[in-house]
Amino acid sequence: MNAVVKVGGKQYYVSEGSEIYVEKLEAEVGDIVNFDQVLMLDNKVGSPYLTNVTVSGVVQKNGKQKKIRVFKYKNKSRSNRKTQGHRQPYTQIKITKING
């Protein structure tokens, strides 16, 4: 079974056993999270969401992305590399079950 799930304002195409990186969720490692905002399941499309369909997953890891490396060119200057300071927090989830 394949599904499209809305998490944190973004849409993810998932299937059982797949791993996704979503915006940081308030969940600990090993917790089970359920997503009820399912937009599509196989060939069925909701308007906007399907009813009685949930996607379950287990939180694998919480972390932060790497810092962003930005190259800026300044004429006749030797400083052209900057490391931006933002690191986006994420949650890694392994999809275990699609109920539908």
Mind listing the pLDDT tens digit for each residue in 23-53?
999 999 999 999 999 999 998 999 999 999 9
Mind listing the pLDDT tens digit for each residue in 83-95?
677 888 999 999 9
Rounded to the nearest angstrom, the gap between the alpha carbon of residue 17 and the centroid of all alpha carbons in its chain is 15
Is this prediction's pTM over 0.85? no
Q: What is the DSSP letter of 100?
A: -
Overall domain count for the chain: 1
| Domain housing 78 | 2-99
- SS3 of 56-90: the string is EEEEEEEEECCCCEEECCCCCCCCCEEECCCCCEE
How far apart CA 49 and CA 71 sit, in angstroms, is 42
